[in-house]
Structure 1
Amino acid sequence: MDNVFATTIIGFIVGIAGTGLGGIVALSIFNPNDKFLGMLLGATAGLMLAVVTFDLLPESYSIGGLWIEIVGLILGILLVFIIEDFIPESHISSFTTRKESFLKTGIIMGIGIAIHNLPEGLAVGSGFMFTREIGIKMALIIALHDLPEGIAMATPLRISGFSKLKVLLLTLISGIPTGIGAFIGAVLGSVSQTFIALCMSFAGGTMLYITCGEIIPNSKTLYKGRSSTVGLVIGFIIGIIITVKL
């Protein structure tokens, strides 16, 4: 029981610290200049595309196979469709509607990140139940992986007009499922591989849709020049380094 408790605490720390630190990074470099914001949004889109392309979907495929990956991907996209029906549609034609558009982006991204953090917690919990060394390694990797996710969530929320404190609290909250997953993984020892694969591709579907359908178009709308595209490429390269090298 002590091991389960300790593993759960570690899971909460890893998830909250990872996304929270990403939020702090986004807030510390925040600048209302549209050219800078366009580049920053492009960079967050690149980061998320790299995480989905080189981490979530390949991991889902290797664990659960092609059809589990496809089903999870479709379900994740359908979730975004449902959420969008409850969030008023807006077009970036004025300052107010622009803020509403970024708010929608931040909310959907936060939900996707929270879902993604559950199987990450399962990996931490299962790792610690296998060996302490594997658990520590998984915890460090996941904390680093959560950094770009915190940035991707915090940036549109901050642009939408949320205070720095609210943005930070929301990024911290999105990391809580990691602790819940760590508890489940520690209790069960080894969880269903199919469930983990489904969660991975499910989160990948939500992030892929919101990145391509919201973040990238909004980054180009903010600034018509090349800065958003340059940011996307830079973010994608950084994302490759984070996901492939760890």
Structure 2
Amino acid sequence: MTAVLVSAGAFLMTLLGGYVAQRTGDRRHLVLGFAAGLMLGVVAFDLLPEAINAAPDEVHGVPQALLMFAAGFLAIHIVERSVAIHRSHEGEYAAHSHAHAHSHAPGGKQGVGLTAAGALVGHSLMDGFAIGAAFQAGSTVGTVVAIAVVAHDFADGFNTYTITRMYGNNRRRALALLGADALAPVTGAAITLLFSIPEHLLGLYLGFFAGFLLYLATSDILPEAHSPHPSRSTLLCTLLGVGFMWVVIGFAD
């Protein structure tokens, strides 16, 4: 029951992240740069190390978690190509960068935003599982994991709202997914009162999700951030996002 109560902190931090994402106005390029940095930091410092630890068995010399990482990256790449979303020339991002705020965005493009946000909700659900499983191992372990989850769920809420809106979905839909993302850790922690996920499967999931996030950060969000405002401030925000996740995960460890 302690895990469920602690996960309420993750609920509040997720909502706070979404609120901050809504209030950015014409500083959207800075928000996207920071969001990409957060996502890169989560992938490099959190998801991949955890995935490799949980699923270290190798297939033809490569850890299974890293194979799933490549599969996640390729899966979203194939989805984007199949609905003809990704532009062939970076210069075209300027025209497409404002489409998120209007209703003319292609349905397939909106679907990618919903899929990405849905994956973030799934990740938050796993965060709740992580809190619950950690408290089953002991209160000290549970507290450390909870601090890490609560801290980076701010980034989850921020990214859920930003990604949903960036791909042309309306504000109501983005808020609905933000609410689902906020509830997910509490739900995941509650589920662990009944059973726990095998560690190996958790590692495979984390590897796949890491590849998914890396593609979004590098192939979509960063070019989008730099297209209207190719400035040093956007690059600085990306570096700050990566550094922020390094500090958070470093303290958690």
Q: Structure 1-normalised TM-score? A: 0.80
- 1:125 aligned partner, one-letter code: G
Name the Cα RMSD after superposition: 2.9
Query: What are the residue-to-residue correspondences of 1:1-246 with 2, within 5 Å?
Result: 3=1, 7-8=3-4, 10-11=6-7, 13-28=8-23, 30-32=24-26, 36-65=27-56, 67-81=63-77, 83-84=79-80, 89=85, 92=93, 93=95, 97=99, 99=101, 100=105, 103=110, 106-158=113-165, 160=168, 162-163=170-171, 166-188=173-195, 190-246=196-252
Whole-angstrom CA distance in 2 between matches of 1:117 and 1:75: 20
Q: How far does residue 21 in structure 1 lie from its aligned partner after superposition?
A: 1.7
Q: How far does residue 228 in structure 1 lie from its aligned partner after superposition?
A: 1.8
- Percent identical residues: 23
CA contact (8 A) 2:80 2:112 kept: no
Whole-angstrom CA distance in 2 between matches of 1:133 and 1:94: 48
Aligned in 2, Cα 1:162/1:88: closer, same or farther, shift over 3 Å? farther
* Structure with greater proportional helix content: 1
Q: How far does residue 64 in structure 1 lie from its aligned partner after superposition?
A: 1.5
Aligned in 2, Cα 1:125/1:94: closer, same or farther, shift over 3 Å? closer
Whole-angstrom CA distance in 1 between matches of 2:97 and 2:21: 21
Q: Could you tell which deviates more after superposition, 113-122 or 49-58?
A: 113-122
The number of aligned residues is: 235
Aligned in 2, Cα 1:181/1:94: closer, same or farther, shift over 3 Å? closer
Q: How far does residue 9 in structure 1 lie from its aligned partner after superposition?
A: 6.1
- 2:50 aligned partner, one-letter code: E
CA contact (8 A) 2:125 2:188 kept: yes
Whole-angstrom CA distance in 2 between matches of 1:203 and 1:166: 22
Q: Could you tell which deviates more after superposition, 203-212 or 66-75?
A: 66-75
Q: How far does residue 41 in structure 1 lie from its aligned partner after superposition?
A: 0.8
Whole-angstrom CA distance in 1 between matches of 2:71 and 2:18: 27
Whole-angstrom CA distance in 2 between matches of 1:235 and 1:61: 23
Aligned in 2, Cα 1:84/1:167: closer, same or farther, shift over 3 Å? same
Stretches of structure 2 lacking an aligned partner (at least 5 in a row): 57-61, 88-92
Stretches of structure 1 lacking an aligned partner (at least 5 in a row): none
Deviations 1:175-224 (A, max 9, x none): 44333432343322x53110111121121111111111110010111212
